Amino acid sequence: MTDFMPEGTKLGPIGDEVVFENEHVRVWKLVLEPGETQDWHQHFLDYLVVPIQISDNVMIFADGRENPTTEVPGDALWRTAGAPHKLVNRGKVSYRNVLVEIKAGKQG
């Protein structure tokens, strides 16, 4: 499934909708139906992924690298900001998550 991000690609949003934001965090929700692909996007902030529904996804990075992910509801997955990528739902059920971007460092 090797895929590369075409040069000049406009990056899309991190998720479907921002559901909460303040000076410390930005919270997104994301739903990917079976076979659906989330557009190329890039995380500029470290973030936490909280799966709502189990997944069989693959992250495809701009340089063609692939990272299969299986996420289980109740998990909390820490990820650091990094290279542009897209997410493909290879599973047979909808994938749902809440993603929390960390905007502010520890205070005091």
Which of the four pLDDT bands, split at 50, 70 and 90, describes residue 107?
low
User: Six-digit token pair at 65?
Assistant: 């690298």
Residue 29 and residue 21 in contact, taking contact as beta carbons nearer than 8 Å: no
Which of the four pLDDT bands, split at 50, 70 and 90, describes residue 104?
confident
Amino acid at 98: V
Residue 28 and residue 14 in contact, taking contact as beta carbons nearer than 8 Å: yes
Give the integer Cα–Cα distance in Å for 106 and 90: 37
pTM for this predicted structure = 0.86
**48: Cα within 13 Å, side-chain hemisphere:** 10
At 38-90, the pLDDT tens digits run 999 999 999 999 999 988 999 999 999 999 998 899 899 999 999 999 999 99
At 4-34, the pLDDT tens digits run 777 778 999 999 999 999 999 999 999 999 9
User: Six-digit token pair at 52?
Assistant: 């709502």
pLDDT for 58 equals 96
17: β partners? 29
